[in-house]
């Protein structure tokens, strides 16, 4: 008799964004006359840049002739992309990364969810709170998170990030085996100064902890003193795995490509304590078994963003989204909302008025003005009393949404 993995049964029935979609669809059915504006799910709206489109067309043409056809590619990525990543994303920041430490994937979500396979299921974990749901749910699936008790998982160390601590998580006062950090942060849109990141690296080195560092939004950083990579911090190569994505950087949400960096200095110990094992090797072995590699067409598209034309074009798109964020931040602040983020990230973290619960305010905004946000509590206990708005919409929709909210708030 086959037995189910009962850890899956601990999960809520739907992923956060599936719940939102269900509620929005119900609203659309009952209010067909309302044009709904979504500022909730962080999907992009601007088309792929010309350099990427040209590269994809060329790659498709290559697949049409026997001489240039590409079948199975290397599971960890083609050298042309791995080398471009090293040359453009790390070398200019003084960070030394070898191409064999770069693993190309089909988006950061896959690797952040799967990375826990190469470490023991009973490792303790720490997460900033609020947090991107995939970090928690993937650990629930393997039993690492424990059981849900009053909205918190029993084996998870929650590191609250609130207005009271300026959204800077406190270093634990005890040893934690694995810690997830995401900066610029999803969902709060806040960043971690270099001096604070140094504290985390020192903690990890002192406690033999692995940091899973999600840098998916680093391209949106505007402040010169905010690190784009944890490897800008001395010693991080010995304690950190870093995740990158082209989804928001280059509009690849539908193309699917990203990469993970695992330095060869990073090791974990066996249970008996007699051996340290390179995690780079284990992840290589895992990918070779479970992943057939990102498509050649997607990797050629990714490589195109590192050309001079590609860099200029994606920067223009990023500026477009950040101008949306600035517009929304100012409008909401003028309305009297307390707003965080939106300066170095495409997310705005907005405190709900009068202590209204996150889901209640989500429904109020949807039914009053037809604007979709994301309830903050969906990202963890410390997210209660907040909503997340994204700047990935069309400019006209962002302006219209702010106008609708302004009129609504004026009547309250």
How confident is the model at residue 283, as a pLDDT?
Answer: 98
Residue 24, pLDDT score: 95
For the chain, residues with pLDDT lower than 70 are none
Residue 315's pLDDT is 98
- What gap in Å lies between CA 385 and CA 286, rounded to an integer? 40
Non-local CB neighbours of 214 within 8 Å, separated by 6+ positions: 108, 112, 132, 180, 181, 182, 183, 186, 242, 243
User: Which pLDDT score, from 0 to 100, does residue 217 have?
Assistant: 98
Contact between residue 252 and residue 235 where contact means Cβ atoms under 8 Å apart: no
pLDDT digits (tens, 9 = 90+) for 287-343: 999 999 999 999 999 999 999 999 999 999 999 999 999 999 999 999 999 999 999
Fold type of domain 8-47+311-411: 3.90.1150
Helical H segments across 226-357, by residue range: 279-290, 296-304, 308-334
Q: Per the confidence metrics, is the pTM higher than 0.75?
A: yes
Q: Where are the domains of the chain?
A: 8-47+311-411, 52-308
Which residues, at least 6 apart from 122, have a Cβ–Cβ distance to it below 8 Å? 144
Task: Give residue 114's pLDDT.
Answer: 98
Strand partners, 179: 126, 211
pLDDT at 151: 86
CA 127 to chain CA centroid, nearest Å: 14
Level-2 CATH architecture, domain 52-308: 3-Layer(aba) Sandwich (3.40)
Residue 411's pLDDT is 87
Do 8-47+311-411 and 52-308 show the same overall fold?
no
Range list of H helices, 16-169: 16-30, 50-62, 79-85, 108-114, 133-141
Quick one: pLDDT at residue 18? 86
């Amino acid at each position: 008799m086959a037995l189910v993995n009962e850890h899956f049964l601990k999960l809520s029935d739907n992923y956060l964004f599936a719940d939102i979609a269900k509620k929005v669809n119900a609203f659309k059915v009952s209010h067909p006359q309302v044009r709904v504006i979504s500022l909730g799910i962080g999907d992009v709206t601007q088309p792929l840049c010309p350099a990427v489109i040209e590269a994809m067309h060329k790659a498709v043409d290559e697949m049409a002739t026997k001489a240039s056809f590409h079948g199975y590619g290397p599971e960890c990525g083609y050298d042309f992309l791995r080398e471009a990543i090293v040359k453009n994303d790390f070398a200019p920041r003084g960070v030394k990364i070898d191409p064999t430490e770069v693993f190309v994937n089909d988006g950061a979500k896959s690797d952040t969810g799967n990375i826990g396979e190469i470490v023991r299921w009973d490792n303790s974990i720490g997460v900033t709170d609020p947090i991107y749901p995939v970090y928690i749910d993937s650990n629930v699936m393997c039993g690492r998170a424990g059981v849900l008790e009053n909205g918190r998982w029993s084996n998870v160390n929650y590191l609250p990030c609130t207005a009271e601590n300026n959204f800077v998580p406190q270093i634990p006062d005890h040893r934690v085996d694995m810690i997830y950090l995401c900066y610029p942060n999803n969902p709060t849109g806040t960043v971690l100064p270099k001096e604070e990141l140094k504290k985390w690296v020192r903690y990890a080195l002192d406690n033999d902890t692995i940091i899973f560092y999600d840098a998916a939004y680093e391209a949106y950083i505007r402040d010169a003193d905010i690190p784009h990579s944890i490897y800008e911090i001395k010693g991080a190569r010995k304690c950190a795995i870093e995740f990158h994505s082209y989804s928001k950087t280059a509009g690849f949400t539908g193309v699917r490509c990203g990469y993970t960096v695992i330095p060869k200095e990073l090791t974990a110990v066996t249970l008996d304590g007699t051996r340290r094992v390179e995690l780079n090797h284990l992840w290589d072995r895992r990918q070779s078994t479970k992943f057939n590699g990102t498509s050649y067409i997607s990797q050629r598209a990714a490589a195109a963003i590192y050309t001079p034309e590609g860099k200029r074009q994606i920067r223009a798109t990023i500026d477009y989204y950040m101008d949306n964020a600035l517009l929304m931040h100012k409008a909401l602040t003028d309305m009297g909302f307390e707003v965080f983020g939106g300066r170095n990230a495409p997310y705005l973290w907005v405190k709900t008025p009068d202590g209204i619960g996150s889901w209640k305010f989500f429904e109020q905004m949807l039914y009053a003005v037809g604007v979709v946000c994301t309830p903050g509590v969906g990202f963890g206990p410390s997210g209660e009393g907040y909503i997340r708005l994204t700047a990935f919409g069309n400019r006209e929709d962002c302006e219209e949404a702010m106008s609708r909210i302004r009129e609504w708030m004026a009547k309250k």
